Amino acid sequence: MAVENRDPAVHLDRGFWLVTALLAVLSALAVYATIMWHPENMPQLPEAAIPADQVDQLFKFLTASAAVIFIYVVGYLVYFAIAFRVRASDPPDAVGVQIHDHHQLELWWTIIPTVFTIVLAIFSVKIWAGVQFASPNNGLVVEAIGHQWFDDFRYPGVHGIVTDEMHLPLGVPVTLHVTSSDVIHSFWLPSMRIKADMIPGMINTLRFTPTRAGTYPIICTEFCGTLHGTMNKQVVVIEPQANFDKWLAGWKGKNKNASDAIPVAGTGTVNLTGGDAAAGQKIFAQKCSACHAVGPFSQKIVGPGLKGVLHDPAHPKLVNGEAANPEDAAKILQKGYDGDMGHMPNASQNGISDKDIANLVAYLNSLK
């Protein structure tokens, strides 16, 4: 028996080709079903922002390819297991066809997955670049700050924090900076198909453009303590812009006298005249650079990056919701800061004099 099988000519029988054809039909059906699937129509998971449709395209591409691979692998697996099972009529020492390898076949099933992987990589990189680098210039800049177990928001022009749901105008590009005041949270907008971890001491940025009015969930997906499962909020995409402006104006009014705008009482007492930017730069290197970078806002070390803090209109207005002025900076330098963005020691803790503050403010003012 065994001897006959020793040097076989590979022969694929009719059953094999029938099964291959059947699997082709099944694969075609699966691909068709994937293409016909419209996630944007699903009530649970609408496509509500610009990258969402692209992510779904990627998902459909992956699902169609995976379905074909899975159907063929499992189809052949089951068919071979049944078709080549040992029969009662076989002698007990019957052996299978003794082939060790088939170089052409192996070459093909190396090349085809490689090509597939390269296609997938190109496709992914294209979408990835769209998600990462689509940085709008004229968009809305919002901040989300995670706490155990809720999110707060900051909007330009609003004193203090917004404790409401997150509201966004339809069709306006959003740059969302996320961070945390305690442990790691994650900010997931399932309907927008994006997510970033909220990490204490670090700022991550999400960019998207809401394309569909409605209310969608915000979910924390990084374990953050006892009530992690309940840490949900909502994002409300408003149309038209006027309604959003009304909502924002409401918060501006509500928080007008919010004491946490600058979480220190009173006005500064430092005389800022005669500040020397060069001297300020030296003090900055000694006293400030441990926590602040001379870079964009998002380049956070312990506190935010301070480039253009007194000039850049796109710089998130962390200080009091309006363009920060030199007096604000001086006040924080003098009295310290203790708020959602963290803790900064006051002047005596930092060991800086009033003269140093004047120099530092002059230096900060020179950063454009």
Partner 1 sequence: MAISVSQIPHGDPNVDQLYAETRDLRLNGFLLFMVSDLVLFSSIIFAYLYLRNSGQGWPPPGFSRLDVAFAAFNSVVLFGSGVTMHFALENWKHGNFIKFANWMVATIVLGAGFLSGQGYEYWTLYQKMHVSWSGSGIFGASFFTLTGMHGFHVFAGVIYLTVLLLQATNGKYTQHKHFGLTAGTLYWHFVDVIWVLLFSIFYLF
Partner 2 sequence: MAVAAAPTHGGGVADHIHPEPHSFIRRYIFSIDHKIIGIQYIVTAFLFMVMGGLLAELIRVQLMNHSGTFVKPDTFNELYSIHGSTMVWLVIIPLLTGGFGNFVFPLQIGARDVAFPWLNMLSFWIFPVAGLMLYSSFLMGAPVAGWTEYPPMSLLGGPGTSMWAAAIFLIGVSSTLTGINFLVTILKMRAPGMTFTRMPLFVWGQLATAPLLMIATTALGAALAALFIERQFGVPFFDPTRGGSPVLWQHMFWFYSHPAVYIMILPAFGMISEIFPTFARKPIFGYKMIAFSTVAIALLSFMVWAHHMFTSGMAPFLQLPFMILTMFIAIPTGIKIFSWVATLWGGKIHLTTSMMFAIGFIATFTFGGLTGVYLSAVPFDLHAHGTYFIVAHLHYVLVGGSLMAIFAGMYFWYPKMSGRIMNEFWGKVHFWLFFIGFNATFIPMHWLGLLGMPRRVAVYDPQFQFWNQFASISSFVMTAGILVFFINAIVSLRTGKKAGANPWGARTLEWQISSPPPYYNFKKVPAVLAAPYDFAEPLPYRGLEGELDPNVPAPVAAGH
DSSP 8-state symbol, 300: B
Residue 165: Cβ-neighbour burial (10 angstroms; 0-12, 13-18, 19+): middle
Pair of tokens at residue 89: 């009529």
Residues 21, 33, 113, 242: which binds partner 2 (CB under 8 A)? 113
- Cβ of residue 358: shortest distance to partner 2, in angstroms? 28
- Cβ of residue 285: shortest distance to partner 1, in angstroms? 8
Query: For partner 2, which stretch binds (CB under 8 A), given 63-71, 139-147, 235-243, 254-262?
Result: 63-71
- Cβ of residue 281: shortest distance to partner 1, in angstroms? 14
Q: Which runs of E-coded beta strand occur in 130-248? A: 140-147, 150-154, 166-169, 174-180, 185-189, 194-198, 204-208, 214-219, 232-238
Cβ(333)–Cβ(361) under 8 Å? yes
HSE value, Cβ hemisphere, 13 Å, CA-based, for 248: 19
Q: Which does 54 bind (CB under 5 to 8 A by kind): partner 1, partner 2, none?
A: partner 2
Beta carbon nearer to partner 1, 155 or 284: 284
Which residues from 88-107 bind partner 2, rule CB under 8 A?
A: 90, 93-102, 105-106
Query: For partner 2, which stretch binds (CB under 8 A), given 17-25, 56-64, 263-271, 275-283?
Result: 56-64
Cβ(186)–Cβ(166) under 8 Å? no
Beta carbon nearer to partner 2, 46 or 169: 46
Binding mask 261-300 for partner 1 (x = CB under 8 A): ------------------------xxx-xxx-x-----x-
Residue 18 binding partner 1, by CB under 8 A: no
Cβ atoms within 10 A of the Cβ of 229, count? 11
Q: Which does 197 bind (CB under 5 to 8 A by kind): partner 1, partner 2, none?
A: partner 2
Task: Give CA–CA dist 129/126, Å, rounded.
Answer: 5
Which residues from 279-338 bind partner 2, rule CB under 8 A?
A: 290, 302
Sheet order of strands, 232-238 included: 166-169, 232-238, 214-219, 185-189, 194-198
Binding mask 70-109 for partner 1 (x = CB under 8 A): ----------------------------------------
- Cβ of residue 286: shortest distance to partner 1, in angstroms? 6
Size of interface with partner 1, in residues (CB under 8 A): 9
Which residues fall within 8 angstroms of residue 262, CB to CB, at 6 or more apart?
319, 320, 328, 331, 332, 337
CA distances from 120 to 38, 115, 192, 244, 346 (A): 21, 8, 22, 39, 53
Reported as type and span, the H/E element at residue 341 is none
Residues 21, 25, 69, 249: which binds partner 2 (CB under 8 A)? 69
Binding mask 301-320 for partner 1 (x = CB under 8 A): x-------------------
Reported as type and span, the H/E element at residue 292 is none
- Cβ of residue 289: shortest distance to partner 1, in angstroms? 5
**3-class DSSP assignment, residue 143:** strand
Which residues from 157-196 bind partner 2, rule CB under 8 A?
A: 182-184, 186, 188, 190, 193-196
Residues listed for the chain: 368
Q: Which does 29 bind (CB under 5 to 8 A by kind): partner 1, partner 2, none?
A: none
Beta carbon nearer to partner 2, 123 or 150: 123
Which residues fall within 8 angstroms of residue 49, CB to CB, at 6 or more apart?
189, 191, 192, 193, 194, 208, 209, 210, 211, 212
- Contact residues for partner 1 (CB under 8 A)? 285-287, 289-291, 293, 299, 301
